[in-house]
Amino acid sequence: MGGSAEGQYVLEARGVTKRFGGITALDSVDLELREGEVLALVGDNGAGKSTLVKTITGALSRDAGQIFFDGRPVQIETPSEARNIGIETVYQDLALVNELSITKNIFLGREIIRDNILGRLVGALDFKKMEASVRDLFSRLDIRISDIYREAQSFSGGQRQAVALSKTVMFGKRVAMLDEPTAALGVRESKMAMDLVTSLKDHGLSVIMITHNMQHVLNHCDRVMVMRLGKRAAVRDVSDVDGDTLVGLITGAIAAGSG
């Protein structure tokens, strides 16, 4: 099956299959992400949600299937290739280095070198420019972290999640893949994280979010894709479903096609 007509979708997966020995974790799964939407990916534990994200982003190899970006086929074999295309993934562990400051975490692997002889000779870093960029970013995203010099481990879970999500905007990514962005967060910090997810959309990103929280799906997402037993069970506009319907689709109590 080819790519999307007239670039309707920013990201597509077609026929993605992944096996672990004799177990089929993904069975010819399709996914479509529209430009500027938040797509929820839901299903019971073991339904294949995280495996699908990892195969799309190159963290796991695919046994079959094709990925399209802006309607064109792309080869994504590693996470770095996904990032180069414009896909950033934020996993539950956030991949922050506890001993580094907020600024160093955001620019980790993408540090700005001074534009002078020290930069050219020894690769001296331009911390002033990086810190100014972080403050501007936090201001645009309404992230209220003023002390960007403190080590990441000294911040709350919600603040750490905000830092991880902000990197997708900092580096001009097109697609953000979020794996349970509110896992282990309290009610107030979960709201902060979900407000930031909405902000990502407002800043031009398309978002795929794995979540078990049905209220987050109903309140913050545009469409929802239900996975069950390694297959795509259904895709619905959020405006057309309620919590009971979603639970029924997830458990199989409500039968549905993929349309």
In a domain, 56, yes or no: yes
pLDDT at residue number 210: 95
Residue 1: pLDDT over 90 = no
| Structural domains counted in the chain | 1
In a domain, 77, yes or no: yes
State pTM to two decimals.
0.85
In a domain, 121, yes or no: no
CA angle 184, 26, 258 (to 5 degrees): 90
Separation CA 102–CA 88 (nearest Å): 18
Q: Give the residue with greater pLDDT, 193 vs 50.
A: 50
Average pLDDT over residues 214-243: 95
What are the start-end ranges of the E strands in the chain?
Answer: 9-20, 23-34, 38-42, 64-69, 72-74, 87-90, 175-179, 206-210, 223-228, 231-237
Range of the domain at 58: 5-92+206-251
Could you tell me the end-to-end alpha-carbon distance of the chain, in angstroms, rounded to an integer?
16
In a domain, 21, yes or no: yes
Cβ proximity of 175 and 200 under 8 Å: no
Taking all residues of the chain, what is their mean pLDDT, rounded to a whole number? 88
CATH number, domain at 62?
A: 3.40.50.300
